[in-house]
Structure 1
Amino acid sequence: MSTPASENSSAPVAAAPVSDRKMSFIAGLLLMLGALLLWFASRMTWLTVEAFDDKAGASTIDLSGAAWSTEATAIALLLLVASVAAFALRKVGRRVVGAISALAAVGASWTPLMLLSNGADPQRAHQLLTSGAASQQASNPVSISSWAEITNITVSTAGPLVAMLGSAIALVGGVLLAMKPGSDGAKLNKYERKAQREEKLAEDLRATPDSGRVLWDALDADIDPTDLDPGRN
């Protein structure tokens, strides 16, 4: 009659580490998904700029998210690295990575949020197009002369919305990883395993000094059986 009760009492204890590892695994996947969405958004068109030059005439230029939000690509790469670190690091490292990722996700959401709420700044668009900064983020060179005028800017909401979605997902993953980093695995590193093995062999030598198996195991572990005093505790 006592056996089922003991089994039931031990079930939650065994399930807790599994649940912890599952939460950190989910957090890592959320960080990866957020990074991919943010990177994809940075390749989308965020702005369509119409400019007029009295020499070259009218021109229409598309600005990508990477050109308008210069930090988007860098943060996407950071979140991607963080997602890998969420699986590789130990508990404290995962907690730190989660906090950094959450802050980075908030930073990544700021530019698309301002663009959707306040619209595009014509002066900044003019600066990007005249300085050549936009050309570095485009497959084809895009630029205007310094005397060209910006006549109209159209905001494409799809790109900023995808960027905000990716930032939100990464924020959830970062907070989850920081709050629920999970427990470290029971597997010890090689130095801890070696120390435990040597301690166990020393105890076996004191308990059964005449055992051939123990003697061979001790020699294999570079332990001299004659250095151990069987009578000491």
Structure 2
Amino acid sequence: MSRGTADAGEPDPSAADGGGAKPGRRYPVGPVVLLAIAAGLMWVASRMTWVTVTSSDGLTEPRTDELVGGTWFGALTPLALVLLAAIAAVFATRGWLRRFLGVLVTLVAAVTAVPPFALLTNSGDPGQRGATLAELPGRAEVTGVQTAVFPAVIALAAALAAFTAGALLARMPRESAELSGRYDAPAVRRAAAGAELDRARSGEDADLTERVLWDALDAGDDPTADPPPAADGDRPRNGGRE
């Protein structure tokens, strides 16, 4: 291989994990982190007390029921699991499937935001809902309702993080990359490595990262070998006559 080609084949020290993503390719690290944060916040909110209902039936001592987020908003924990599943789906999808996943995540975020927003704005009748969720007897009367602000704020923060993650996924370009080249099929990587070597040997600009060189070796193509000479039939002899 000529000196110029050899220099072009030097591994790129800045390439992370030997993969070396091409310029312009974007990785969904931000959305994955936001999805994890949203799922964690939703789980925390589901374990906290959102509403405390005090009631009396006139016969026994006053009763106090503390309704946690998982009871007040029964879908909170399942939606957190949906976001965790969405993280796995991000690894497995790309292109329009990943953008469609982003739309679904934004819908989950919108659904998550409704109950805490209603609680913070005192929408509806929390006393009636609390009596139903606490399964109070028919003769019982609700004498007091206390709502907690902090758990509702946590749930809203989770909804905001999920919405941002969904919006980022929905706006990712068609050529967005996988999280690492190691997730590409080996046959695809070897074919791409052969194409990059061919470009380098023909004098074109090529992205010869360390991963590309290893994939080429794996495919049986020695990156240090000179390109094969052109076949006799590819160049004219004796003025183009045989």
Normalised by the length of structure 2, the TM-score is 0.63
| 1:189 has 2:164 as partner | no
Cα gap change, 1:188/1:62 in structure 2, threshold over 3 Å: closer, same or farther?
closer
Instruction: Provide the identity percentage.
Output: 31
Corresponding residue number in structure 1 for 2:22: 14
How many residues are matched? 173
Contact 1:25–1:87 (CA under 8 A) maintained in structure 2: no
Corresponding residue number in structure 1 for 2:103: 99
Deviation of the 1:57 alpha carbon: 2.1
Deviation of the 1:146 alpha carbon: 2.3
3-state DSSP of counterpart to 1:56: coil
Contact 1:27–1:177 (CA under 8 A) maintained in structure 2: yes
Contact 2:51–2:130 (CA under 8 A) maintained in structure 1: no
Of 158, 181, 193, the residue aligned with 1:166 is 158
> Unaligned stretches of 5+ in structure 2?
1-7, 9-20, 196-218, 220-232, 234-242
d(CA) in 2 for partners of 1:37 and 1:173? 14
3-state DSSP of counterpart to 1:93: helix
Corresponding residue number in structure 1 for 2:71: 67
| 1:124 has 2:116 as partner | no
d(CA) in 2 for partners of 1:37 and 1:188? 32
Corresponding residue number in structure 2 for 1:212: none
Normalised by the length of structure 1, the TM-score is 0.66
Cα gap change, 1:167/1:50 in structure 2, threshold over 3 Å: closer, same or farther?
same
d(CA) in 2 for partners of 1:179 and 1:15? 18
Equivalent residue letter for 1:175: A
Corresponding residue number in structure 2 for 1:137: none
Equivalent residue letter for 2:44: F
Corresponding residue number in structure 2 for 1:175: 167
Residues 153-207 of structure 1: CA deviation (Å, up to 9, x unaligned): 000101101000011011101111111266235775356579x59xx9xxxxxxx
3-state DSSP of counterpart to 2:139: coil
Q: Find runs of 4+ consecutive structure 1 residues off by over 4 angstroms.
A: 185-188, 190-194
Corresponding residue number in structure 2 for 1:81: 85
d(CA) in 2 for partners of 1:193 and 1:118? 57
d(CA) in 2 for partners of 1:71 and 1:97? 19
Equivalent residue letter for 1:71: A
3-state DSSP of counterpart to 1:54: coil
Contact 2:109–2:163 (CA under 8 A) maintained in structure 1: yes
Corresponding residue number in structure 2 for 1:46: 50
> Unaligned stretches of 5+ in structure 1?
1-6, 8-12, 131-143, 201-216, 218-230
d(CA) in 1 for partners of 2:184 and 2:144? 63
Deviation of the 1:48 alpha carbon: 1.0
Residues 57-77 of structure 1: CA deviation (Å, up to 9, x unaligned): 201111101111111111111
d(CA) in 2 for partners of 1:33 and 1:111? 19
